Chain A
């Protein structure tokens, strides 16, 4: 009988042996090596063993009786250390075995991040029973804490298992969302939400710096300084094919052991199967293709013809209650088309990717009932153009209606606040409707909902339509854009009442029809999120128009303008000299004094921006935000210091205001002025906020305009002290930040809500004024900083080409 030696008793080789013995039990005398001290078991079921849902015995696929019946000589717990191809022997730790045919099935080894402390006891991977047992052991201590590094398939299964064992679990993930290889952002968001609901903490964009501990692991330190106490650290950051044996034996290697379609390596008597092989450039990490390989290899060993083909793969996560499915190719390549469906009420997200009238990829979250049908369509590659419009509704539904635009409102719980001004929640409104208030007017009279600023009118109307159904014909308000069915005001209110704190949360919960918005809605949503959740939400540069992203104004020829801040319009010779030097050094074609009392350098090249900023920073100047929907300038006149008419220190107040307000983002740009006397040299009476100093104090005016519209400010209040003037200004701007529609200047917003509504909050209600000032200050702890310094230090990449092929020598 021929001698067959198999190295590695894993999922691939186990399946291969089954096929082999089934087809011809007497073809080979088999010796099976395994480094693990046990035979074949179902590795993918380690997760239920970890969580305690199964015992190890239940997942063993081949027991001693099976090896005996098939006359397999087992050498478990013995690693193979070499292959001598000349003598055709395999060298094991306990001696050699000769072979006629050899199968390498060594699988993969987990990748371990080589950060300091990675060798401490208590740092484990997630690959075999030893790892699983170490985790189970760690969880036995009451109150034990686990840190899982890696938010992919394995890491999340480990996290869920540890959590079920009662541990406090934190998952650290390097990328922006979980399972980024299988899921898009929206599905990743839903997954994170489900995991958090189970008590698992998830930190994305987390980069591990160090693992600390004396005798064993005690804590994990992140790059950003966060410290996480840990009794066990699980690294699940990827795998590498275990190919050392093949490499040492001189077999042809790629990223793994190269095989042909019959699974033969470059040596005709040596085969390889499983995760340690590379076929036509592909590596393998899931069992489905390995089972295909096993079948082909069994035939090859028996001298029969068969060829291995790479198939489309699908992924499911084995965490009970996290229903997700992804298949095919949804993130690569040109000529693609998306179909997106969201049902916020059920937490469902579905995305199909089409190419050339065929389905090529699918991502589902929350409802995977039809996933097999879709997977079938992906594998067959059939033409789906005839059912394109209803495809996303699945096989049962061919010829149906579009998604319900009201579903976001329908999904709100009764205690969700609809009208912020009067504190009216959805339940109260529904109750009033049941009591006979069946139109807007009646509802306002009975509940006061939408009776104050009016910005929630759209939502109240939606509650009416949801409650009354067809009996209510709502006047349709303009949605933000074609990506959604909601108005700006609706979105702002829902972000607050549903506590939506990320873009994917908004897209999903408010039923967006596109994967990530468009140039109309995304900048608005980005602003709403950062205005409402300054600490939780991270400003997204990619959701900003070019001027705000590059912190400079783009000119019509694609160059930029640079304008440093001059607090209150005051400068000095050193600053002027630095500006002049920069203008010369970067060959600035135009230097202009602006209407806002600043100096503007026009015509700077994109790649020069970080350098000119660095130079201006060095002279003590910061960005003038001449490009932002935020505080622009505070103009002043010279006031009591020099002017014989001046009544107060208008320059001083202007500088104070600018130092408080700079860096803040607002729905549209905000310009201020402070004049020292009613002669009004600083033109304060046509500004968003304009203060005119008088003998008795300060006249604070708001909502002026001097652009396409011309409008004098309206008097907010007259106050005696400078501090009050500052507080009123800050409170007004914060109220504007919290409530206005994106791209409405203050005068437009005040026209909608009414000056009385504004006064009631900013002037009369002292507690509300204090809250507004505090909320503004909280936000400023994040945003009162110089973007130039930050970009010049960390983001110069953004301003330079990724590569310059013109520098390369011609071939």
Chain B
């Protein structure tokens, strides 16, 4: 595990998201409740819609382009659609967001 501090929880609007730029591409960091943050790929497997711009509801996000819905826990597309986005471990410590991107880096290195 390699935890990186990327910012404060308050930097992300409630039920919103911000982008995180990494060497392995853009990752979307979502905040669903006061202290609940998820990190996942920003790119929708359907047609590449920017998921950080989607509507966040419950622990899900809806892609802004064609309304595919993804569970932020598992990354699985919901309902009739099939597909998956990569999700990354997140930890909150004293209001700071820590993400572990080892999985993303391995993927880009491979």
Binding site for B on A (CB under 8 A): 175-176, 180-181, 184-185, 331-336, 338, 514-519, 522-523, 541-546, 549-550, 554, 556, 558, 606, 797-798, 800-806
Contact across chains for A802 and B50 when beta carbons are under 8 A apart = no
Chain B residues, CB < 8 A from A522? 55, 57
Chain B residues, CB < 8 A from A542? 13-16, 55-56
User: Which B residue's beta carbon lies closest to that of A503?
Assistant: B15
Contact with A along B56-90 (1 / 0, CB 8 A): 11111010110101001110000000000001011
Chain A residues, CB < 8 A from B57? 514-519, 522
Contact across chains for A554 and B53 when beta carbons are under 8 A apart = yes
Contact across chains for A805 and B34 when beta carbons are under 8 A apart = no
Chain B residues, CB < 8 A from A805? 4, 6, 20-23, 101
The listed residue (A543, A606, A798, A800) touching B55 by CB distance below 8 A is A543
Separation of A115 and B53 alpha carbons in the complex (Å): 37
Contact across chains for B12 and A802 when beta carbons are under 8 A apart = yes
The listed residue (A184, A332, A545, A804) touching B64 by CB distance below 8 A is A545
Chain B residues, CB < 8 A from A802? 6-7, 11-12, 18-20, 29, 97
Q: Which 3 A-B pairs have the closest CB atoms?
A: A519-B62, A802-B18, A546-B64
For the complex with contacts A332-B92, A516-B15, A546-B64, 8 further pairs of A-B residues with Cβ separation under 8 Å are A181-B35, A185-B33, A331-B36, A338-B58, A518-B58, A518-B62, A546-B54, A805-B22
Most interface-central of B4, B20, B33, B92 (chain A CB within 10 A): B33
Tell me the interface secondary structure of chain A in the complex. Answer: loop
User: In residues 2-50 of chain B, which contact A (Cβ within 8 Å)?
Assistant: 4, 6-7, 11-16, 18-23, 26, 29, 33-36, 38, 47-50
Once A546-B53, A803-B6 are accepted as A-B contacts, the answer to whether A335 and B34 lie under 8 Å apart by CB is no
Contact across chains for B64 and A806 when beta carbons are under 8 A apart = no
The listed residue (B26, B49, B55) touching A519 by CB distance below 8 A is B55
Separation of A331 and B9 alpha carbons in the complex (Å): 13
User: Which A residue's beta carbon lies closest to that of B13?
Assistant: A542
Contact across chains for B20 and A801 when beta carbons are under 8 A apart = yes
13 residue pairs bridging A and B, Cβ less than 8 Å apart: A181-B35, A331-B33, A516-B58, A519-B57, A542-B16, A545-B64, A546-B64, A554-B64, A558-B49, A606-B53, A802-B12, A802-B29, A805-B4
User: Which B residue's beta carbon lies closest to that of A183?
Assistant: B34
Once A802-B20, A803-B20 are accepted as A-B contacts, the answer to whether A556 and B65 lie under 8 Å apart by CB is yes
Most interface-central of B26, B29, B53 (chain A CB within 10 A): B53
Contact across chains for B11 and A334 when beta carbons are under 8 A apart = no
User: Which B residue's beta carbon lies closest to that of A805?
Assistant: B22
User: Which A residue's beta carbon lies closest to that of B56?
Assistant: A542
Q: Write the nearest CB–CB distance from A759 to chain B, whole angstroms.
A: 37
Contact across chains for A334 and B53 when beta carbons are under 8 A apart = no
Number of A-B residue pairs with CB-CB distance less than 8 Å in the complex they form: 119
Q: Write the nearest CB–CB distance from B20 to chain A, whole angstroms.
A: 6
Separation of A421 and B15 alpha carbons in the complex (Å): 37
Contact across chains for B34 and A175 when beta carbons are under 8 A apart = yes
Contact across chains for B34 and A334 when beta carbons are under 8 A apart = no
The listed residue (B21, B48, B49) touching A801 by CB distance below 8 A is B21
Q: Write the nearest CB–CB distance from A560 to chain B, whole angstroms.
A: 10
User: Which B residue's beta carbon lies closest to that of A542?
Assistant: B15
Q: Write the nearest CB–CB distance from A337 to chain B, whole angstroms.
A: 8
Q: Write the nearest CB–CB distance from B24 to chain A, whole angstroms.
A: 9
Once A181-B34, A335-B74 are accepted as A-B contacts, the answer to whether A558 and B55 lie under 8 Å apart by CB is no
Chain B residues, CB < 8 A from A180? 34-35
Contact across chains for A332 and B89 when beta carbons are under 8 A apart = no
Contact across chains for B59 and A336 when beta carbons are under 8 A apart = yes
Contact across chains for B56 and A518 when beta carbons are under 8 A apart = no
Once A519-B55, A522-B57 are accepted as A-B contacts, the answer to whether A334 and B87 lie under 8 Å apart by CB is yes
Once A542-B13, A803-B20 are accepted as A-B contacts, the answer to whether A519 and B54 lie under 8 Å apart by CB is yes
Q: Write the nearest CB–CB distance from A46 to chain B, whole angstroms.
A: 27
Contact across chains for A336 and B11 when beta carbons are under 8 A apart = no
Q: Write the nearest CB–CB distance from A238 to chain B, whole angstroms.
A: 12
User: Which B residue's beta carbon lies closest to that of A330?
Assistant: B33
User: Which A residue's beta carbon lies closest to that of B33?
Assistant: A331
Most interface-central of A519, A549, A556 (chain B CB within 10 A): A519
Separation of A606 and B21 alpha carbons in the complex (Å): 14
The listed residue (B18, B38, B55) touching A545 by CB distance below 8 A is B55
Chain A residues, CB < 8 A from B49? 558
Most interface-central of B38, B49, B64, B90 (chain A CB within 10 A): B64
Most interface-central of A181, A332, A549, A803 (chain B CB within 10 A): A803
Contact across chains for B59 and A338 when beta carbons are under 8 A apart = yes
Chain B residues, CB < 8 A from A519? 54-55, 57, 62, 67, 69
The listed residue (A335, A545, A801) touching B19 by CB distance below 8 A is A801
Chain A residues, CB < 8 A from B59? 336, 338
Separation of A556 and B47 alpha carbons in the complex (Å): 8
User: Which B residue's beta carbon lies closest to that of A185?
Assistant: B33
Q: Write the nearest CB–CB distance from A744 to chain B, whole angstroms.
A: 19
Most interface-central of A338, A514, A606, A805 (chain B CB within 10 A): A805
Q: Write the nearest CB–CB distance from A525 to chain B, whole angstroms.
A: 11
User: Which A residue's beta carbon lies closest to that of B35?
Assistant: A331
Contact across chains for A558 and B48 when beta carbons are under 8 A apart = yes
Separation of A519 and B34 alpha carbons in the complex (Å): 20
Q: Write the nearest CB–CB distance from B51 to chain A, whole angstroms.
A: 10
Chain A residues, CB < 8 A from B58? 338, 514-516, 518
Separation of A80 and B4 alpha carbons in the complex (Å): 41
Separation of A333 and B74 alpha carbons in the complex (Å): 12
The listed residue (A185, A546, A806) touching B22 by CB distance below 8 A is A806
Q: Write the nearest CB–CB distance from A623 to chain B, whole angstroms.
A: 18
Separation of A181 and B35 alpha carbons in the complex (Å): 8
User: Which B residue's beta carbon lies closest to that of A803?
Assistant: B6
User: Which A residue's beta carbon lies closest to that of B22?
Assistant: A805
Chain B residues, CB < 8 A from A541? 13, 16
Once A181-B34, A334-B73 are accepted as A-B contacts, the answer to whether A554 and B19 lie under 8 Å apart by CB is no
Chain A residues, CB < 8 A from B56? 542
Contact across chains for B36 and A801 when beta carbons are under 8 A apart = no
Separation of A554 and B59 alpha carbons in the complex (Å): 24
Once A331-B35, A801-B21 are accepted as A-B contacts, the answer to whether A336 and B15 lie under 8 Å apart by CB is no
Contact across chains for A335 and B73 when beta carbons are under 8 A apart = yes
Q: Write the nearest CB–CB distance from A316 to chain B, whole angstroms.
A: 20
Q: Write the nearest CB–CB distance from A168 to chain B, whole angstroms.
A: 29
User: In residues 93-110 of chain B, which contact A (Cβ within 8 Å)?
Assistant: 97, 101
Separation of A113 and B75 alpha carbons in the complex (Å): 41
Chain B residues, CB < 8 A from A801? 18-21, 26
Q: Write the nearest CB–CB distance from B41 to chain A, whole angstroms.
A: 13
Q: Write the nearest CB–CB distance from A180 to chain B, whole angstroms.
A: 4
Chain B residues, CB < 8 A from A336? 59, 73
User: Which A residue's beta carbon lies closest to that of B44?
Assistant: A558
User: Which A residue's beta carbon lies closest to that of B21?
Assistant: A804
Contact across chains for B36 and A332 when beta carbons are under 8 A apart = yes
User: Which B residue's beta carbon lies closest to that of A180?
Assistant: B34
Separation of A695 and B19 alpha carbons in the complex (Å): 58
Chain B residues, CB < 8 A from A331? 33-36
Contact across chains for A184 and B21 when beta carbons are under 8 A apart = no
Chain B residues, CB < 8 A from A518? 55, 57-58, 60, 62, 69
